[in-house]
Amino acid sequence: MSVRFETSGAVGVITLDRPPVNALSREFVSEIGDAVGEAGHPALRSVLVAGGQHFAAGADITEFGEVFDSDADDELAAALGLVVSRFEQLDKPTVAAVSGYALGGGLELALGADFRILADDAQVGQPEIKLGLIPGAGGTQRLARVVGWQTAKRLVMSGRSVPADEALAIGLADRVVPAGELMETARAEAEEWAAGPTRALAAAKRAMLAGYRVEAGLDAELAEFKALFDSVDAREGVTAFIEKRRPDFTGT
């Protein structure tokens, strides 16, 4: 198993453990989904999700490569999108402890948390555009709601990752702490939320989520993401990434 689920008092702790960078494969995403399901237990009053050296450095691109040679739609983004939505809708506060890289699907997972605490050496971003693709698990929608439309547009369209201090400045991080203090700080925050009025906190989440419904945007994002697998540039971008070379995009 690449995902551990543990409890500490009223806090559920989801730990991602697929070395070296927690790349998101279909099986790994399924395991994360199972852990999110366990985190829904009513005895738990807050949830913490964390990685090891890296939170999650995005999708396992080798699985994208398989899509070009099959008639099947890509399933990874759709599966991750469902997991992130379930995580976002948990009826208790959630905290993401972000270490190292949180890129692509890794950042999308962190965006599903109510609060993000970053290690001071963390790097976060949506680099999919560099593959000739776009975020497919909620990145175009949730990022804009967290950091604002124009800032999100620039991040998504440039594919640039940002360091922790910049993430804090734009509102993508709630707190930045020294890397060695990340887990201690995140656990303390999760415990603080767990000691709060859980029903009222859940009600606040539901009311706020109702005010920023993203379903239509998520559907549009996933449709655009899947359509890009018919493009020459996406095939070139993914192939170049796997071959560790610079892509030669033609605009088609």
Catalytic positions, written as ranges: 108, 128
Three-class secondary structure of residue 8 per DSSP: strand
- The H-or-E segment that residue 107 falls in is helix 105-111
How far, in Å, are 21, 65, 140, 204, 247 from residue 234 at the CA level?
23, 10, 18, 40, 10
> What gap in Å lies between CA 97 and CA 115, rounded to an integer?
9
Would the CA dihedral through 81, 221, 172, 210 be positive or negative? negative
Q: Are 49 and 190 in contact (CB under 8 A)?
A: no
Q: Give the HSE-up count for residue 100: Cα atoms under 13 Å, Cβ half-sphere.
A: 17
Residue 13's contacts (CB-CB under 8 Å, 6 or more residues apart) are 4, 5, 6, 7, 47, 48, 49, 50, 187, 190
